[in-house]
Structure 1
Amino acid sequence: MIFRTRRAASLATAALLASGTFTALGAPAYAAGTETDLALTAAGTRATDGVEAKVGWAKIANQGEGTPTKVLVKVDTSKVDDSKLIVASVTEGGCEVTGDTKPELWVCELDKEEIPGPGETTEVPIVLFKAAEGVTGPYQAPVTISIESSDDTDESNNSVEINVELTPESGVDLGVIVPDVKTRIDLETLDEDGPVHPGDRTVFWSEIANQGDLTAQGLKLTYQLPKGVSFLPVEGCEISSDKRRAVCEDDTFLLERDTVLVVPLAVEVGKGVEAPVTLTGGSLEAVAFGALSPDARISQQATKPGFGKAEVREIKESEFADIDPTDNSDDFAVVVAATSGGGGGGGGLPVTGVQAGLIGGIGAGVVLAGVAMFLVARRRRVVLVTPGDEKTNA
């Protein structure tokens, strides 16, 4: 397999820069024919005190039939002790923060490209980072996240109350993001080529990060595609008979701390799919089988994923537990456009927005394999994995 590593900007610096680029937010706009139902959930808000920072998510799912014209995300951090934790929210549309002596309320507007269409989900980064290097847990505080849109017809699912937590436990902390598939990608050049149509082949990307303070030992990725979409052959991964489920395992692979594993997989949309339609039901779940002891030596070979291997070995059971399992899975949809009036978008990089920018998506820009990646974690490295590629020491 081919893999590459890159370094990125500091998470704390990125978050502070983001908090300084505020925009004025007005009252929600009203527009006819945009009524819908937005639903809010949150994940990934528990972190070990052995890391400087972590990115969690506020997930906004569009469960209705319209696309709202304007969406605001509000994060109430007034009860968080800013001598322990700093909690921030970031969107491409800009944020406004208020508070006399500390950040108490973040009001962020979704950019037009971030607003989810019917069946789609947008992930808004919720950044947790320690206020000082010596801060330790246990510590937790309540945070209220809410969304507002004049087009939302059901406000009963527009708010969640969560605890942000800093724990003294040491361990692995996997986080998973899979952006909705909206763009046809050329399988050879990885260039963007317009919307996805029935019968098209494209690539979708998944991102698995280790935001804990220990190295993950062994990794299992379980993919499920929406009905109407099938996997193309993936060497080393077990594909189900209906070609909608793929299981990729490697019990020797080591996913180090501050590292993101990026896996592109080729899929095909059925010719019989009636478009336009948003195909829901896609998902990825990542599981680490154990944690490497802090004093263990890590070989270079062990950091090269083995999903290209022909044999999938049996994994022994372990009492290992992830620090925060709430962000170990993510759902995604495939947006299929009608063929009439189509046309390619030409070459170039896919525009994936904040939610597709690795775990956090608000830092320095990094380009890997023709896809624009945005990183946030301090000293975070990105491992790009193409199942079936030959291993290399490059």
Structure 2
Amino acid sequence: MIFRTRRAVSLAAAALLASGAFTALGAPAQAAGTETDLAITAAGTRTTDGVQGKFGWAKIANLGEGTPSKVLIKVDTSKVDFDKLVVGAFTQGDCEVVGDLKPELWVCELAEDEIPGPGETTEVPLVLFKSTEETIGAYKAPVTISIESPDDTDESNNSIDIDVEVTPESGVDLGVIVPDVKSRLDLDTLDELGPLNPGDRTAVYSEIVNQGDLTAKGMKLTYQVPEGVSILPIEGCDLSADKRTVVCEDENFVFEPDTILVLPLPVEVSKALDAPVTLKGGSLEAAAFGVLAPDARLSQQQRKPAFAAAELRKANESEFTDLDPSDNSDDFAVVVSAPSDGGNGGGGGGGLPVTGVQAGLIGAVGAGVVLAGVAMFLVSRRRRVVMVAPGDEKSNS
């Protein structure tokens, strides 16, 4: 593996919003052949008051067989004390914020490329941030998240009630996000080369962030890919015999707050697949072995993961607890297109715009966010990013 660092980029269409960007949403129009079943879940809605804020996620899964024509997500924050905490949702589509004295209801439309196809999941960023920089202590408030679509045939899974919570505890707070894999990528540059076909190689792009206020000691990443996909060997990581699970760990790596670990996992799609097909069952789980004292001195070497040189060993048993384990894992699907020439594998036609890797999904927020004329912000400092690029992948072919 080759390791390098870079500065975090702005979260596209999530942080760069201004008061003029919000418009009223009309009723979505029905489109033929788009009937499906959407479901909503959420993760990452607990944070420490030792940080200014964090990202959580509302996850919209398509459990049906059609792609909806329109999708709205609504976040009811009317019971949240605005003087303590601000909670909001962001999409690439139009958003409307309702409320005279405070944001009480967020209504956002998914942009066309955010709408999940069959078997896919779209992660909508939920931002939790303190209204002031002062310590607010323990706080909890109910929030309702719902989705609407004229094409949804089952509304029983379209709404969830959650709590947003602030704790005075200090600690590590890992967050994981893995977008669905839809494109063939250059494994060296991560440039998009075209649709993903049987026989192609690509990368599973993932980000792990420490959104707590303490430094983690030791890191373990466990990837699972769907049946029909195999992981290319990575030096220093433990690959299973069926090439569908890989474990990368480094017990000496220190993972500081406001730091993002980026790992594009090199994979290969089976040539024998009958495409088009959406392969479900992919996942990434991140775990920290422990936590460092606030006054611990950190070396530069410790700040770089050493998966390529680390001794392989089982994870330590530990009493360490993550502040919010709900966002320590994320599922993903691999969407395989039929070759345009009708053949098997190696295909893909190039020249598509770069939409397959949404770099900076978590690393987001150094800029101010203006919502309905109210200046709000999540994190005033830039996040640092530890970039892990697939440079030493090997093939047994």
TM-score computed with the length of structure 1 as normaliser: 0.90
1:258–1:377 CA contact under 8 A, matched in 2 = no
Query: Match of 1:367?
Result: none
Q: Deviation at 1:236?
A: 0.7
Q: Which one of 348, 351, 355 corresponds to residue 346 of structure 1?
A: 351
Query: Match of 1:3?
Result: 4
Q: Which one of 361, 379, 386 corresponds to residue 382 of structure 2?
A: 379
Name the CA shift for 1:60/1:360 in 2 (closer, same or farther; >3 Å): farther
Query: Match of 1:370?
Result: none
Q: Take 1:48 and 1:207, find their aligned partners in 2: how far apart are those partners? A: 20
Name the CA shift for 1:115/1:66 in 2 (closer, same or farther; >3 Å): same
Query: Match of 1:27?
Result: 27
1:72–1:107 CA contact under 8 A, matched in 2 = yes
Q: Deviation at 1:316?
A: 3.0
**Root-mean-square deviation over aligned CA pairs:** 2.3
Q: Take 2:348 and 2:15, find their aligned partners in 1: how far apart are those partners? A: 38
Query: Match of 1:205?
Result: 205
Query: Match of 2:169?
Result: 169
Q: Take 1:166 and 1:138, find their aligned partners in 2: how far apart are those partners? A: 5
Give CA-to-partner distance per residue, 1:313-335, whole Å, 9 cap, x none.
34432211000000000000000
Structure 2 counterparts to residues 111-190 of structure 1, below 5 A: 111-190=111-190
Query: Match of 1:80?
Result: 80
2:181–2:333 CA contact under 8 A, matched in 1 = yes
Q: Deviation at 1:278?
A: 0.3
Q: Take 1:386 and 1:188, find their aligned partners in 2: how far apart are those partners? A: 7
Confirm whether residue 264 of structure 1 aligns to residue 269 of structure 2.
Answer: no
1:290–1:320 CA contact under 8 A, matched in 2 = yes
Q: Deviation at 1:173?
A: 0.2
Q: Take 1:261 and 1:310, find their aligned partners in 2: how far apart are those partners? A: 17
2:44–2:56 CA contact under 8 A, matched in 1 = yes
Query: Match of 1:292?
Result: 292
Name the CA shift for 1:206/1:15 in 2 (closer, same or farther; >3 Å): closer
Amino acid at match of 1:6: R
Query: Match of 2:275?
Result: 275
Structure 2 alignment gaps of length 5 or more = 342-346, 368-377
Amino acid at match of 1:165: E
2:228–2:269 CA contact under 8 A, matched in 1 = yes
Q: Take 1:155 and 1:329, find their aligned partners in 2: how far apart are those partners? A: 26
Q: Take 2:174 and 2:54, find their aligned partners in 1: how far apart are those partners? A: 11
Q: Take 2:35 and 2:143, find their aligned partners in 1: how far apart are those partners? A: 28
Q: Deviation at 1:191?
A: 2.1
Q: Take 2:353 and 2:247, find their aligned partners in 1: how far apart are those partners? A: 31
Name the CA shift for 1:116/1:10 in 2 (closer, same or farther; >3 Å): closer
1:10–1:376 CA contact under 8 A, matched in 2 = no
1:216–1:291 CA contact under 8 A, matched in 2 = yes
Name the CA shift for 1:131/1:109 in 2 (closer, same or farther; >3 Å): same
Amino acid at match of 1:74: K
Give CA-to-partner distance per residue, 1:355-383, whole Å, 9 cap, x none.
x642275777xxxxxxxxxx977321111
Q: Take 1:357 and 1:259, find their aligned partners in 2: how far apart are those partners? A: 12
SS at match of 1:302: helix
Q: Take 2:283 and 2:379, find their aligned partners in 1: how far apart are those partners? A: 24
Query: Match of 1:358?
Result: 361
Q: Take 1:126 and 1:276, find their aligned partners in 2: how far apart are those partners? A: 32
Query: Match of 2:47?
Result: 47
SS at match of 1:59: strand
Name the CA shift for 1:18/1:65 in 2 (closer, same or farther; >3 Å): farther
Name the CA shift for 1:70/1:347 in 2 (closer, same or farther; >3 Å): closer
Q: Take 1:126 and 1:80, find their aligned partners in 2: how far apart are those partners? A: 14
Percent identity over paired residues:
70
SS at match of 1:290: strand
Q: Take 1:294 and 1:144, find their aligned partners in 2: how far apart are those partners? A: 36
1:192–1:349 CA contact under 8 A, matched in 2 = yes
Give CA-to-partner distance per residue, 1:286-323, whole Å, 9 cap, x none.
00111111010111000000111152134432211000
